[in-house]
Amino acid sequence: MGYCHCDSCREWSAGPVNAFSLWPPEAVQVTKGTDKIGSYQKTEKSVRKWCTVCGGHLLTEHPLWGVTDVYAAVLPGLDFQPALHVNYETTVLHLSDGLPKQKDLPAEMGGSGMLLPD
């Protein structure tokens, strides 16, 4: 769990940061309304999903990384405990919260793994 500061997430969430929670795809199950889910593949890294009735954003599948990002805001019972910030180099909202600030992405996800100061 953490915060993404990239342009794409900011545009998609209509906010200065996007709170994410990453899950193995098999751990994510839509229990109702699957016939009302729209999909858009922005890049090879992301397939965005939203409700075609209300327009609410639901999740993003990341097939290259083998994870599904369920937006923290759509999980009201989630005990959100962020571990880091990613893509902090492009932030528009500087936060001093003691969490690691990845310049881009962790090295395990193809990023530089470089940390920026809090």
Residue 15 is classified by DSSP as: S
Average pLDDT over residues 9-14: 90
Q: Which residues share a beta bridge with 18?
A: 4
Mean pLDDT of the chain: 95
Put simply, whether the predicted model's pTM sits higher than 0.75 gets the answer yes
Average pLDDT over residues 36-55: 94
Q: Homologous superfamily of 2-116 in CATH?
A: glutathione-dependent formaldehyde- activating enzyme (gfa) (3.90.1590.10)
Could you read off the pLDDT of 55-83 as tens digits, one per residue?
Answer: 999 999 999 999 999 999 999 899 999 99
Q: What is the pLDDT of residue 61?
A: 96
Q: Which residues share a beta bridge with 116?
A: 101
